[in-house]
Amino acid sequence: MLRGFEALIDCKGEGGVFKIGYGHAVGQVSITGFDIHNAIGNAENDGYAGGVDATNVKRISVLSSTFTNCTGREAGAIAVRSSKGAGENNIRNLQNLTIRDSARSSSIPRVAGGAGSISLSYDSDYNNNHNNNMLSNIQISNSSGGRHTNEGGAAGSISLSYSGYNNNNNSNRLSNIQISNSSGGSHTSGGGAAGSISLSYKSNYNSNHNSNMLSNIQISNSSGGSHTSGGGAAGSISLSYDSTWNSNHNSNMLSNIQISNS
């Protein structure tokens, strides 16, 4: 566990903070109690998010932290990726976060996805199955999905994306989330540049038995990306399935959603 006790970290635009799992798989990581400012993940530091930049971590929790003025090639504050056969039975737990003035930079991300603040992506060579993503009590303001993306999904604030042979039996739960002044990525291809939240499944075979639950979501001043192709540039929320064979028995439940100026 990495416990900050409200520790202030100011990177002054010269680097990122937490880089986890590169070069070897990690079983479990918990990050809590940090106040991160002016962090950047770019080509110079081989980073993809300014705050938390993780790949192939089986279980990761980011709790009770603040991110201000963070940028990254995949997400401004938090980017967690599962790839190369590590796309199954993962847990991502993000709770009690405040994210301000966050942006995805103008470079092309590694995967179909990317977002202004939080990107959780699964692009295993084979299957992305039985993953559990829990996001709750998150406040995001002034978040941008950037420009010149590809493969779609450059959401203004939050992106959860699956891209593989099969994407089955995954659970995504988003609750008690407040987003204001959020804009989806512009000049994209592939669509899906939602203004605030994007959940996308793209598979060569099947995307079945997935569960998406969004509750108690408040969104204000949200705009979808302009100059897109492929559709899906929703002003606030986009849920999409693009499978070569089947997209069956998926459950999408949205409750207590308030949207204004979208």
Dihedral of CA 31/82/254/217: which sign? positive
Cα 133 to Cα 122: distance, rounded to the nearest angstrom: 11
The three-state (H, E, C) secondary structure of 207-244, written as one string = CCCCEEEEEEEEEEEEECCCCCCCCCCCCCEEEEEEEC
- CB contact set of 84 (below 8 Å; sequence gap of 6+): 56, 124, 125
Chain segment 75-95, per-residue pLDDT in tens: 999 999 988 778 899 999 999
Residue 193's pLDDT is what? 67
Residue 192's pLDDT is what? 47
Q: By the 8 A CB rule, do 122 and 131 touch?
A: yes
Chain segment 25-40, per-residue pLDDT in tens: 788 999 999 999 999 9
pTM of the model as a whole: 0.93
Place of tokens 């978040």: 143
CA 152 → CA 50, 155, 186, 226, 229, distances in Å?
21, 8, 10, 12, 9
Domain ranges of the chain: 2-260
